[in-house]
Structure 1
Amino acid sequence: MRTTVLTTAALAALCLLAPASAASPVPSATAASATPAARPGPAVSPPRLGRCAPGELCLWAKPGFAGARQVHELSGVEIESCVPLPAGADAQSLANRTGRPVTAYQSAECAETGEFDTYPGGGTWVPQTPYRVRAFKVWEN
């Protein structure tokens, strides 16, 4: 099972990376053998984070923190209980800022027969979940 998880530290590191310059002061063998028409591709920018305040679990209907957003706070969630999303709703990106681990489930009943992943609570940003999230559980630390 593959999960893309971006922590706050990883996103900060991505923002610090600058695209390589086309002109290099040190010639390389690959640069000398490149055709004149070959040019580096456009710089890839890190994903833009959605709004999610500390203490919240935020779920978005679409990848890339887009679409309708649902916000859940610890005060409204019973710890270690399955919390299904509203009927017909699902999420394809999420941010866990609860300070506690959260397991996202493909199943609306938190059944472990479907896909599920647990995300750390210290600031985990997932721009695209590997499946549609239909329920979650918040765990004790």
Structure 2
Amino acid sequence: MRTIHAVALLTGAAALAAAHLGVPTAHGVPQQRSRAHPGPAAGDCATGQFCVWPGRGFGGERQTYELSGTDIESCVTLPAGTRGVSFANRTGRPVTTYQSAECAETGEYDTYPGGGSWVPESPYQVRAFKIWES
């Protein structure tokens, strides 16, 4: 069963308060799932892209994947020796991130909407992902 996380757009004081609060995960552990204003590093992920960073808060060297070079509903494993700690989904389609490099559902996995999901710290190390049809 896939979980789809909704992204709320907040402004003003509500956005500042939300940026400091964790959103509960399915496991009850607070995690900051998305931010209304992602910050300068996350701005490097353009519309139509899925971007992954090795560090928290969109830190480190970004890896970018686009629909034109990615098979829909196929498991895409991150290159060996890399890790996904934060990511942004701007593909316009849902993306599921997996703890497993084989996209196995025996490990942790979550699905994020494609309209602009910004995740500054994943609750697990992302090793693979799938882009789904809308």
Give the TM-score range, shorter chain: 0.7 to 0.9
1:48, CA displacement in angstroms? 2.2
Query: For 2:39, which of 38, 41, 48 is the aligned residue?
Result: 48
CA contact (8 A) 2:99 2:128 kept: yes
Query: For 2:83, which of 90, 94, 98 is the aligned residue?
Result: 90
Q: What is the DSSP-based 3-state SS (H/G/I as helix, E as strand, rest coil) of the residue aligned with 1:68?
A: coil
Give structure 1 stretches of 5+ with no counterpart: 20-45
Say if 2:75 is the partner of 1:75: no
Give the aligned length. 108
1:118, CA displacement in angstroms? 0.3
Aligned equivalents of 2:80 and 2:113: distance in 1?
A: 26
Larger radius of gyration: 1
Query: For 1:17, which of 13, 19, 26 is the aligned residue?
Result: 13
Give every structure 1 segment of 4 or more consecutive aligned residues whose post-TM-superposition deviation is greater than 3 Å: 5-8
Aligned equivalents of 2:115 and 2:8: distance in 1?
A: 9
TM-score, length of structure 2 as denominator length: 0.74
1:7, CA displacement in angstroms? 3.6
CA contact (8 A) 2:38 2:118 kept: no
TM-score, length of structure 1 as denominator length: 0.70
Give structure 2 stretches of 5+ with no counterpart: 17-36
Q: What is the DSSP-based 3-state SS (H/G/I as helix, E as strand, rest coil) of the residue aligned with 2:9?
A: helix
Say if 2:105 is the partner of 1:138: no
Aligned equivalents of 1:115 and 1:59: distance in 2?
A: 17
Counterpart amino acid of 1:137?
Answer: K
Aligned equivalents of 1:6 and 1:99: distance in 2?
A: 14
User: Could you tell me the percent identity over the aligned residues?
Assistant: 61
Aligned equivalents of 1:97 and 1:47: distance in 2?
A: 12
Counterpart amino acid of 1:48?
Answer: G
Counterpart amino acid of 2:9?
Answer: A
